[in-house]
Structure 1
Amino acid sequence: MDGPNNKKKKNSNRKYGSSRKSVLKKTLKQEQVTFTAPVSDDPVVAIIGGGISGLLCALQLQIRGIRSTVFDTGIHGLGGRLGTRTVDPSMVFDHAAQFFTVSNPVFADLVDQWSHKGFVCQSEGVIGELEAGGHFNPFPSSPPRYIAVNGMRSLADSLLLQSSLIEVVRPCWISSLEPYNGMWHLSENGKHRGQFDAIVIAHNGKCANRLLSSSGLPLIAKQMKRLELSSIWALLAAFEDPIPLPAEAAAVPFEGAFVKGVESVSWIGNNTQKLFNSQNTGPHCWTVFSTASFGKRNKVPQENIPTSTAEKVKELMLTGVENALGLSTGSLKRPLYSRVQLWGAALPTNTPGIPCIFDPLGRAGICGDWLLGSNIEAAALSGISLGNHTADYLKSGGSRPDEFSVGLHDEFQPLQGHDIGQFPGLESSKDISVARIQVGA
């Protein structure tokens, strides 16, 4: 969708010339884009990435009266790592983010709104730490854990139900960002996808680096390239009968467990118990996550996973489940449905510890969980922050860029914690911090 002013401005707003050939040549050398003309009276923002961070950025812009278009690659729906796979009504898997906790008051207010609208609820199931051999140590019930009521993706789908200033384009893979005549022109494999007053990058990894490599945003590109990401395998497995649980957990079957001492498994979660409790009489659906070291050692292009690799990973992870539960090798009944998925850019391992990045000269920003941590709360706070910051900039008319530069030179620090995410406040009764489990946001 084009921006509000469909006529291209006559004057060039890049400092080195107006011809398209000159723009392209200089952009490839990563000369800084500099827009100088006033912002449109009715600006529109392109948001590339429809995960929780990008969606909340769009919603915050809407609150401030600014239109946006969200471009997302999702075939089945929005949400990014708020991923849910529905095989049939009785087989539902959260195959990325499992749940989230709340520590920030701004996020707490937002979660209260979601709860009131019926988007999320507290999870009452038992989770804990599972040591190799079957020793299960349950966690205290505090802090509250939240899940989306119909699988994590339903939260993303619900957020835009009443949106009025947000357009969604999916599935769409933006392949080119071109600054020309005072606007950002977006393309998907040569197909024009509109012109915009500002852009937001709300995803990361190789695709984001490729997109930024010739965009004319060298400072943003440099910061994005400093981000380091782990790889995690996810195994979705549905069993006809309940999985045999350790004696310590048999009285109160656990909903999920952080696994310790098993190289191929770091988390196992019972989706059926979490989403349906005792109301489902169908298959028992589990999500299993590998460790980051296992993901790194078995990494392949996630868009084209060889059948042999998929089968090997599945068998190793099923064996890991047996080891974690203290079962003899080969005793676990074969799943009636199974699927493996590689999250090649699963989780950040370093962070600048800032809410967002914004380049006022290029009218471009970045949001995402990795800027603050590795969880849904971090993603939400980042999206809200960038939405507000971008709105402030656009409403200023763009005439005072020096006042709006954020995060372009901040140093990165290692992100402490376990392999698959952060859950602030979640600790075992042994006072062992496990504040990091969640593939995604």
Structure 2
Amino acid sequence: MHERGPRVAVVGAGVAGLACARALADHGFDVTVFDKGRGPGGRTATRRVDPGLAFDHGAQYFTARHPDFARAVAAWLVRGVVAEWGGRVVKLEGGVATDTPPQPRYVGVPGMAAVAADLAATLAVRRATRVARAARTPAGWQVVDEAGGGAGPFDFLVAALPAPQAAELLAPHPFAAEAACTPMTPCWAVLLAFADRLDVPWDGAFVHGSPLSWVARNSSKPGRPGGADCWVLHAGAGWSAAHLEDSPDAVVPLLLYAFAAATGRTLPPVAYRAAHRWRYSLGADPAARTTLFDAAAGLAVCGDWLAGGRVEGAFLSGAAAAGRIVRAADGPVASAG
């Protein structure tokens, strides 16, 4: 055994990768996380424009159904990392709003990125580092970034990436082909701040019969800046795919028009507008295997796409990958599940 515990490289600092890294670090493993972004979180993202404007432009909220995730959420609640969002969430179709079944919905405070920040605390995270290649050598896993910088050897490699990116990184390992069989759909997000409050009697809506699939008054969430009426609009998968290569400037007016049509309202003057494209937003492994693991190679794959999507799925997938690695470090047993 190593003096500081087995070394693990985790590629991807979304919730899955961070949950895996956090669990391994707590078990004494020497973990390094690599991520192409400027900060951890993946799609649990918050964009702050100035002190008065903030937008959760990726994951909007999360629920907690599995006991393991519910325990994590309970701890976050106690420490103020998350809070329950009490906004009214409706189904919106033809301008008619119908209440959805009540359930606790949680958000990070002061933004969704707070969850990732908490998981990443004290971890060694190499930000703005896109891993281009990973190779298993007799000494262990070596990773190489786009700039040609190398790191390793590592006893274990964890690919905590969207399925298409995992497939690209892991080829020719058989897990690459398995990941390639799980397509992921895109999502265009539009970020809006209105000069006046939009007069609708709800705070979030699942939209039907529209280019939009979801809209939310971001400023209604706990811990958000007061003042501006901030909204996030998510386009549906089909519309996003059809407009995948459009410019943000082209997308914003189209989805603004769709928002006005869906609400049946004349929108207030827009004080701020922007768009963000999530190329890999949703995907689901048909077998719902939670994680893929090859003990002989020291390789794990995790992500929300392996566990039914959502923040909860990402967390459970990362935790499952960590569990496999902990057990393998004592006596390997392999494969997917």
Q: TM-score, normalised by structure 2?
A: 0.94
* Matched residue, 1:255: 203
SS state at 2:232 partner: strand
> Post-superposition shift, 1:183?
0.8
Residue 348 of structure 1, aligned match among 283, 286, 289: 283
1:287 corresponds to 2:207? no
Contact 1:48 1:202 in 2 (8 A): yes
Q: CA deviation at 1:360?
A: 1.6
Measure the CA separation in 2 of the matches of 1:187 and 1:66.
21
- Residue aligning to 2:48: 86
The residue that corresponds to 2:98 in the other structure is: 137
SS in 2 for 1:243: coil
- Please say if 1:108 is aligned against 2:49: no
- The answer on whether the counterparts of 1:57 and 1:387 sit within 8 Å (CA) in structure 2 is yes
Q: Report the 3-state secondary structure (helix = DSSP H, G, I; strand = E; otherwise coil) of the residue aligned with 1:130.
A: strand
CA contact (8 A) 1:40 1:197 kept: no
Give the match for residue 192 of structure 2.
237
What SS does the corresponding residue of 2:190 show, helix, strand or coil? strand
Q: CA deviation at 1:296?
A: 1.1
Q: Structure 1 runs of 4+ off > 3 angstroms?
A: none
Give 3-state SS (helix, strand or coil) of 1:345's partner: strand
Q: Which position in structure 1 is the counterpart of 2:216?
A: 269
Q: Deviations over 1:184-235 (max 9, x none)?
A: 111112211332111000012443322122xx42x11111111111111100
- Could you tell me which of 36, 50, 56 is aligned with 1:73? 36
Q: What's the CA shift for 1:118?
A: 1.2
Give 1:210's aligned amino acid.
Answer: E
CA contact (8 A) 1:358 1:366 kept: yes
Match of 1:62 among 18, 25, 30: 25
The correspondence for 1:324, drawn from 258, 262, 269, is: 262
**After superposition, where does 1:29-178 map in structure 2 within 5 Å?**
40=2, 42-75=5-38, 77-132=39-94, 134-141=95-102, 143-161=103-121, 163=122, 166-178=123-135
In the other structure, the counterpart of 2:309 is 374
Root-mean-square deviation (CA, aligned residues, Å) is 1.7
Measured against aligned partners, the alpha-carbon deviations of 1:384-422 in whole angstroms (never above 9, x if no partner) come to: 1110111110122xxx5xx32225xxxxxxxxxxxxxxx
Provide the C-alpha distance between the structure 2 equivalents of 1:240 and 1:232, rounded to a whole number of angstroms: 26
**More strand per residue: 1 or 2?**
2
Tell me if the contact between 2:168 and 2:176 (Cα under 8 Å) persists in the aligned partners. no
Following superposition, the deviation at residue 40 of structure 1 comes to 4.7
- Residue of structure 2 equivalent to 1:23: none
- Cα distance, 1:140 vs. partner? 4.0
Identical columns (%): 32
For 1:216-231, list aligned pairs within 5 A.
216-217=172-173, 219-231=174-186
- Distance (Å, rounded) in 2 between the aligned partners of 1:341 and 1:69: 28
Partners of 2:139 and 2:153 within 8 A in 1: no
TM-score (norm 1): 0.73
Partners of 2:263 and 2:334 lie apart in 1 by: 53
Written as runs of structure 1 = structure 2, the 5 A alignment for 1:205-220 is 205-213=163-171, 216-217=172-173, 219-220=174-175
Distance 1:276 1:68, change over 3 A: closer
For 1:199 and 1:350, how far apart are their aligned partners in 2?
21
Alignment of 1:280-429 (within 5 A): 280-281=226-227, 283-300=228-245, 309-327=247-265, 331-396=266-331, 400=332, 403-407=333-337
Give the superposition deviation at 1:59.
Answer: 1.2
The equivalent of 1:191 in structure 2 is 149
Contact 2:89 2:205 in 1 (8 A): yes
Q: How big is each residue's C-alpha offset from its partner over 1:131-183, in whole Å with a ceiling of 9 and x where there is no partner? A: 12x21112343x2111111100011112233x3xx311111100111222231
Any conservation in 2 of the 1:367–1:386 contact (CA below 8 Å)? Answer: yes
Distance 1:386 1:259 in 2: 35
Please tell me whether the aligned partners of residues 126 and 256 of structure 1 are also in contact (alpha carbons under 8 angstroms).
Answer: yes
Are the counterparts in 2 of residues 351 and 372 from structure 1 also a CA contact under 8 Å? no
> In structure 2, what residue type is equivalent to 1:61?
L
Q: Give the letter for the 2:178 counterpart.
A: Q
Answer whether contact 2:206 2:214 (CA < 8 A) is retained. yes
Distance in 1 between the 2:237 and 2:99 partners? 24
SS at match of 1:112: helix
How far did residue 350 of structure 1 move? 4.2
Distance 1:273 1:370 in 2: 29
1:65 alignment partner AA = G
Structure 2 CA distance for aligned equivalents of residues 129 and 107 of structure 1: 27
Q: Supply the distance in 1 between the matched residues of 2:2 and 2:180 (Cα, whole angstroms).
A: 31
What is the total number of aligned residue pairs between the two structures?
A: 335
Could you tell me which residue of structure 2 aligns to residue 181 of structure 1?
138
